[in-house]
A and B are shown apart, each in its own frame.
Chain A
Amino acid sequence: MGAAAGLTRGVDGSPIPVWRGVGEAPHPATDRERATVAIVGGGPIGLAMALDLGRRGHRVLLLNRLDFISAGSKAICFAKRSLDIFDRLGVGDAIMGKGVSWNVGKVFWRDGDAPIHQFDMLPVKEQKRPGFINIQQYHVEERLYEAASGLDKIDLRFGHEVIAVEPRSDGVALTVRTSNGEYAVDADWVIACDGCRSPVRTMLGLDFEGRVFEDNFLIADIRMQGERPSERWFWFDPPFNRGQSALMHKQPDNVWRLDFQLGWNIDRDAAVAPENVERYVRGMLGPEAAFEPEWYSIYTFQCRRMEHFVHGRVMFAGDSAHLVSPFGARGCNGGIADIDNLGWKLDLVLRGEAGEHLLATYDYEAIVTADENILNSTRSTDFMTPKSEVSRALRDAVLELARDYPFARPFINSGRLSTAVSYPSSPLNTPDIDRWEGGIAPGSPALDAPLAAGWLLDRLGGRFVILTDGWTGVERTDAEVVDLAAMKTAPLELPCQRYDLLPGSAYLIRPDQYVAARWREPTPERVAQAMRRAKGLPS
């Protein structure tokens, strides 16, 4: 159905629609190759991982089973944090240019035309990127693919399937299959970005524990003309889907994502039949609505994660490592956060500037992120689909009170949408020794702010930065000094305010734009010590 140009079969035998064929990469000339880093999986996470490492100057081999970018209903909501990461990877403008920006979410209840609750995903204004954009996953993949194929360091091999994985103490032996036979790759490092059914995870016999949620949701991606605000609209118990919930999101190309909760005991084939789907669509949009189908499907979901994401020389990122419900947009955004965390760490290890121990902190920090995402996603699901009579009574009480009483509105949980996760207890942080009135604590992501020309996050880039207001007491080869005081023409109030920077103060910011340390009275020794800590080196 929809824009698909053709179909092929997935790992589980289900059909996969094609967005854009890229063709099978040629079978290599030798039957045994070497690679520093092999990435398995060419979805958004694998491609972004390749781009990150390739831009840092490393040779990357990316192996993807399919020889095309697939269509269908997948991720559509990309959070500000992912957009900031896309900027660092050089694809921010290309992705923004296609996406639909939005900040505001509205929640409706029963027959009411006025929202009972409204939230803003960008409470701090004057930042380069919005709270969210909506864009079909294949548009993002296509832009990442274009950028990655433009780098000599990255060898993109679509149509190459990894069929065996043999871990060794100093690397991993992969067996790869193409339509012309098999070949072997001896990789120093393997990053498995091969999705929720991760063949690499299965071949290694690794765990993927979690919880299945007993509920079905109908996705109707439709095309229609007409003006509606680009906001996230969510309904509890609307007249067109009694006792259930519904969601509406605008996408590029006049495509709209409509999502209807259906409950557990349903006939899935009947539910996805066009006449049934269109009954729901007309219920939401009105009987006269003119639209064309783009993609209809039914999904269920699970929350799962691996116990560890790092297994010797094999590391997992994205859905292969963790899985959440779609409410909250924490799936793809969670995976982008993984590669952001892993990229600079593996870079330092490959350069010999850090030991393999640094990768253990990827395991720690990415699991903090995954657990926060799973927790939020599970809570949203329990609010939307109460699992007991008492749970339903509490949920309904929140909605009943919210119309008239502001205190109840924050309780409404239609999905806690993805924002950057902090690591307050990360071993890479240097704890504060001074008094700070706000600012950004160690382990938290840097906040954007306008500069006279451009934006602070763009200025921070992808390496260690010492962000200061006038402190000139340090010179290092492994960190760049960004001195706000030296930007004579800049309006400094906002950046200084956001970081609680006083003259002479300094922050040490990691290559993934997380704060590692900060001082009122920085010294070269303090910086050196915090740098060692942030690189996972013994102090």
Chain B
Amino acid sequence: MILVPITYKGGVFRHDEILDLIEDMGGYIIQKHMIAQEVVLQALIPKEDIETLRVISRPLAGEVIPAPLVGTEIAVVSMSLEIHHLPHASCDIAEYLRTAGAKTNMVGLARGFGKRIGLMSDEERDIINEHDLAIYLFGNFETCIKQKMPTFRRGIRVPIIVTSGFSKEALMKIIDPPAAGYVGGVGRFMHRTKEPEELARLDEIVAEVSRVVDQKRATIAKDPLSVAPARLMDIILETVPDIHEVTSPIPVVVQTDGVRVKLPYDPYARKIRDIEVEPGIRLADICDFRPSRMRDYILMKVKPFSETGMLV
């Protein structure tokens, strides 16, 4: 069964039927937003059932849109959290990626600015490494990016997409060894992105991110994960009652190869480790548990089939 990421937009009226339908299909609801009279669902559903969902939701004025980034957690790395980069461009990009279904976290570096003086701490590096992908929002000068890029990629294991004010081609030329993706024309700017060509650039970022995420998904598919992260999320939501007390909008964040559980590591990691997924198979057998550098959350990375010999 191939699960595809979608966004469902519809009214509040009878939306519980849609929730049930997605569950009955064998799909997973990653995120549910209720905004006044509207419900927005980010979900993964079986490919062959998209049409069924469309047909059933039509009388409820529901809309099913493909959202390539559902089930990914992306770090939008801004060189600092000062007025030079906020709210435009950092927030504009982070917000736009959310419309494509991604869960974006903004990482504002403490000393990321400058050409010679730009630095990245080990905490920042570890946090970026917990994501599926990182987008580096660089500035408008080639000289600076060329000099600071080696510092900022040191120790980063996740794919990096680099954006800058000048062209993609120039960016490709100065970054060596190559990064996973490039987007030109989005550097430092201090106005809101509302002109068509600026929005087209944001679309370009979404396309580039999707391309890199798809590559990552394809690599994972060659050696499938012991359990689908979305299923893992479902298991935790069902078996750990305390997760429903968490006030975060998304208490369990789904990534391409794991989940982030927003419960403190010390009291809960052991309990979650011992959860039986199927008779004789505990979560500890199929997942790596790590304390996250983000607050004291639990980071679970699913082991591949080749390592466990199990497919749940």
Does A pair with B? no
User: Which A residues contact B (CB, under 8 angstroms)?
Assistant: none
